[in-house]
Amino acid sequence: MTRINVDRKVFAARLREVVADEPKAFAYEIGISLSALYNYLNGRIPSTPVLLRMALYTGKPMEWFLGADEVVSHFPSRPADLADRRYPVPA
């Protein structure tokens, strides 16, 4: 397992990038208070469940929020992407 050193400034900058100018809507959609979102925008790192909701809502990998420049994943970043795949059915 690769360990990521979390840079709080990078996390806050990337979160600002996806929140843009809609903090109320973003907070509502991922199920957190606006004050919690502002804490995260100021560099506080969220719990894993909150980070997961951010990732699922934005389509960005959790590692991207935490500062990873290159994210290699064998899984789609959004569960809905699984529905778009076609799997062969054994005969």
Token pair recorded at residue 8 = 């709080």
Torsions phi, psi for 43 (to 5 deg) = 110, -5
Whole-angstrom distance, CA of residue 39 vs CA of residue 35: 6
Domain 8-69 has CATH 1.10.3470: no
Q: Name, in order, each residue with C-beta under 8 angstroms of 4's C-beta and a sequence gap of 6 or more.
A: 63, 66, 67, 68
Whole-angstrom distance, CA of residue 66 vs CA of residue 18: 13
Per-residue pLDDT tens digits for 31-71: 999 999 999 999 999 999 999 999 999 999 999 998 887 65
Domain boundaries, the chain: 8-69
Whole-angstrom distance, CA of residue 40 vs CA of residue 45: 6
The pTM assigned to this predicted structure is 0.71
pLDDT at 24: 97
Whole-angstrom distance, CA of residue 80 vs CA of residue 32: 22
Banded model confidence at residue 11, pLDDT cuts 50, 70, 90: very high
pLDDT at 6: 83
